[in-house]
Amino acid sequence: MDRYAVIGNPIEHSKSPDIHLLFADQTGERLSYEKILTDKDNFSQVVTNFFTNGGKGMNVTVPFKNDACEFVDELTEYAKHAGAVNTIYKNESGNFIGANTDGIGLLRDLKKILRLQLLNKKILVIGAGGATQGIVEPLLNENPSELIIANRTVSKAEAITEQFKSFGKISSCSLTEIPKHSFDLVVHATSAGLQGNNVELPVEIIGLNTCCYDLSYSDQDTPFMQWAKNHNAGKVVDGFGMLLEQAAEAFYLWRGKRPDTGMAYHYFRPDVAQKPHL
């Protein structure tokens, strides 16, 4: 039986084994999927040992996405530009390939579940960490009228803007300089909730049709989602759909089959007839 795994620290909370085993059941594939906990010093050796002992593919989560970038032999275009890898596999030549399916996962969730088209739309991304780097290029490829990255440390936002300026209309600002007009899509891409870092975003960014999307997910609303609901955003969703979609893309890279993410969403969240708060 082919072996797969997700590696991270912490890792106990990961839903990836449940997701990929459901995908395997859907598509008639036989495989195992495990969680691997390690530290930065041992990351490369643990990954090498996994593949040496018959591993076929691996997902990478925090804090090792940059380490994975340095570990692999080749990078896909998205992974190269993002500077981060969340999926590892070997090609026919035996080389380690690093892919990044995060941005693809976000786009598919926005389009398939939310039916949100981004052409000529205004996008605001809160945060300038690794998560933002993974989603900027796919978002810009949809040709929005503007994409603004807002971050407490503006130099980090400026660095990402410089990195991706050739892909489309992108700019940056501090959290206190966010333009006071409504956006079509507001993406919360920081690990800290609004209550945790005492950020109060301008209410003007919310309009009747604004979709507020938190890349994190939880059984309860995140602080950002609560804030968005309190200010009557048109749609308020967490990142669970993105998690499923990026996992499905990784599964496709490994097995050549596309799982049914819609069915998977209802399987894991049976109490939700559709994406919440649409």
Residues catalogued as catalytic: 65
CA 183: distance to chain centroid? 20
Three-state DSSP class for residue 100? coil
The DSSP secondary-structure symbol of 122 reads E
Q: What is the distance between the alpha carbons of residues 203 and 231, in angstroms, rounded to a whole number?
A: 7
The DSSP secondary-structure symbol of 276 reads T
CA atoms within 13 A on the CB side of 208: 0
Residue with tokens 């609560």: 226
Three-state DSSP class for residue 105? helix
State how far the alpha carbon of 31 is from the alpha carbons of 22, 87, 239, 251, 268, in Å. Answer: 11, 16, 26, 11, 20
Helix-helix angle 154-164:130-140, to 10 degrees = 40
74, 58 Cβ separation under 8 angstroms = no
List the structure tokens of 205. 């960014």
